[in-house]
Each structure stands twice: as structure tokens, then as C-alpha cells.
Amino acid sequence: MSRHLKIALDMAKSLEKVDGIDAITMREIKALCLPPTRTFTAEQIKSIRESTHASQTVFASVLNVGRSTVEQWERGKKKPIGAAAKLLDLVERKGLEVLCPALKTIKVRSDISRPIGVKPGQTQEG
């Protein structure tokens, strides 16, 4: 958020406290402060998923999309839009655990190079 936008938001919050601005206007001002939706390349999506050490199936489950959707994103056949793009941005910045706190409890051994959810001897797609 830019410095000017932060100042405007702070001013609006102060006005809201003294009933100088209504709730609807405040919501509109807060919406202006949201970061723009990013676009992701297939390579970026795959990199985000691989950085989380999650299989396509687990990654899809946490994002609440189908495994085939993640596969199509990673092959460049489809692009994530709307909520999916926002969630990808969030996962890239904060990690998969922000959407699935249970993943924090899973310990990944350094000698295992397979993603979470993939059994030994199993390929990532299978």
C-alpha cells in the first residue's frame, strides 16, 4: 500500500470513530486498499507448489480446487482467477500453513525429497 493511501485510510478510520463516515463508505475505502490480483505463469505456480513440498493433490485440496485444475495451471492450459489467484498469492507470501494450520505439525525430514501426500515409490501425479 502506498504511503498516501495509508494516510487516507488512517484519516477515514479516524472519521469512522466519530461517526464522520458511514460503514458503506468505509468498506469502499478499505476495498481500495486491497492489493491488486496478481497473474501467475505456469512456472510460478509450479514453483509455489513445489516450495510448499505438497503434491498436486494436496495443494489442490488446500486451495479447494481439483487436482486436474492445478495440473492445467502448471501446464499453462488454464490460469487461476478470482479467489484462486488471491489464495496462490497468499500461499506464496505466507506458506501453505496459513490455509491449513494442520500442515505445521507435519515434520518433513531432510532426507526425503518427495512432496507431502506422495507415498514412497509413488509418482507425484499418481
Is the whole-model pTM more than 0.85? no
Could you tell me if 64 and 22 lie in one domain? no
Mean pLDDT for all residues in the chain: 84
Within a domain: residue 115? no
Residue 68 lies in a domain: yes
CB 19 within 8 A of CB 5: no
Over residues 37-54, the mean pLDDT reads: 93
| 4 — pLDDT class (breaks 50, 70, 90) | confident
Determine, yes or no, domain membership for 114: no
Q: For position 70, what pLDDT does the model report?
A: 97
Between these two residues, 71 and 31, which has the higher pLDDT value? Answer: 71
Q: Examine the domain organization and report whether 55 and 78 are in the same domain.
A: yes
- Which residues sit opposite 54 in a β-bridge? 116
Residue 116 falls inside a structural domain: no
What does the alpha-carbon distance between residue 79 and residue 73 come to, in Å, rounded to a whole number? 6
For residue 8, what are the domain limits? 3-32
**Domain membership flag for residue 59:** yes
Spatial distance between the Cα atoms of 73 and 88, rounded to a whole number of angstroms:
11
Q: Looking at the domain assignment, is residue 123 inside a domain? A: no
Same-domain pairing of 46 and 12: no
Report if residue 90 sits inside a domain: yes
68: pLDDT strictly greater than 70: yes
**Do 26 and 74 lie in a common domain?**
no
Q: What total number of domains does the chain contain?
A: 2
Cα torsion through 40, 38, 58, 99, rounded to 10: 160
Same domain, 49 and 84: yes
Structure confidence at residue 78 (pLDDT): 96
Whether 117 maps to a domain, the answer reads: no
Residue 123 pLDDT > 70, yes or no?
Answer: no
For residue 102, the model assigns a pLDDT of 77
